[in-house]
A = this chain, B = another copy of it.
């Protein structure tokens, strides 16, 4: 690979660009995780995460990837052989379903075309038919990172309520938390799953569960074998800001700094508006190029990433290779059955207008260089939109909500 001057553009849909001040916070001497200073840190990040999830219930922090917090959600609440209803929104929903199978559960997959979010009506219909209430949980990926479709969790909640079904609601917020509005308590979600390396602007290595009283009650009944993922000891130790086993101390330093930025400085509502603007600007660029969005439902457009279909006969792998080599820009690949068919632009985390325009310029020049049929003008379309300020973006949010 030739020498690349300047800064790398990491525009995969996570891990995202870590702010320098978060990296600098991590870059401190490790402290005694049983000493008095640690308890303050622990309490501060646990409280901050409650604010990010918009919950007054407990949040649990694991030294693990998001995949681990998926497993924690399942093994803390269910019993072997339990039926869980999952919505096939894309690759991550599929991986979560595969995990459920491996763990001895019986997932039932509501089929999807990987171009929409979860269908609340289909969930409602299935729950209505389950008059014996054998379905123990409904699992939905809030923002499907493989397709760029954001499921309407408030509507899923309403669907479960209309069916008067007692299933727990579990929501994967890994690529939405801290970039797309998520309301744990208002939507009465029972277990949310989060990860550090997306909207939270952190390196990977921490993951989260936000709980509800019903989730805690289910945990008391659940007989699945668990130890590392068990909430029980975690919650006892967390009361004073400590952990039952060694936490990832340095990453917690970074999390404290990132929470300061998200909650106290930019503030969450502004973070969401910023992501909304960048999502809309990106979609305008894609339309100007004459390319097709993978997500076909405007109310479900993701504001943290955009998945773009490659024209037939063209390889996203070859295209991304050209873009990486020539412009030092990392884009997301097509995953699962979208492999070599879509590429993904991440526009989440610590990000601004000019970095987005640089990213879109890299895509536009890369399309030309790779000989992918398209029209120029995507960058111009995005600039024209961004120049109008945030009003239109704000209105769009209201429409989409």
A contact residues vs B (CB 8 Å cutoff): 1, 7-8, 10, 12, 14-18, 23-24, 26-36, 62-68, 71, 80, 98-99, 102-104, 195, 197, 203-205, 224-228, 230, 245-251, 324, 330, 333
A64 partner, pick from B23, B64, B249, B251, beta carbons under 8 A? B64
Within 8 Å CB of A65, what residues of B? 63, 228, 245-248
Chain B nearest CB, measured from A2 CB (Å)? 13
Chain B nearest CB, measured from A176 CB (Å)? 16
A24 & B23 in contact (Cβ 8 Å cutoff): no
Q: List 22 A-B contacts (CB under 8 A).
A: A8-B29, A8-B31, A10-B30, A12-B34, A15-B30, A15-B31, A15-B32, A15-B33, A15-B246, A15-B249, A24-B27, A26-B250, A33-B204, A34-B333, A63-B65, A64-B228, A65-B247, A67-B228, A67-B245, A68-B68, A99-B228, A197-B246
Within 8 Å CB of A225, what residues of B? 80, 102-104, 224-225
Chain B nearest CB, measured from A280 CB (Å)? 25
Within 8 Å CB of A36, what residues of B? 1, 324
Within 8 Å CB of A34, what residues of B? 12, 333
A204 partner, pick from B16, B23, B71, B247, beta carbons under 8 A? B247
Within 8 Å CB of A248, what residues of B? 65, 203-205, 248, 251
A26 & B29 in contact (Cβ 8 Å cutoff): no
A230 & B102 in contact (Cβ 8 Å cutoff): yes
A330 partner, pick from B15, B35, B203, beta carbons under 8 A? B35
Chain B nearest CB, measured from A330 CB (Å)? 4
A250 partner, pick from B10, B63, B205, B246, beta carbons under 8 A? B205
Nearest 7 CB-CB pairs, A to B?
Answer: A205-B248, A27-B27, A203-B250, A67-B245, A32-B330, A99-B227, A204-B246
Within 8 Å CB of A8, what residues of B? 29, 31
Given contacts A63-B205, A65-B228, A102-B226, 6 further A-B contacts (CB under 8 A): A23-B29, A31-B330, A62-B64, A71-B228, A102-B225, A103-B227
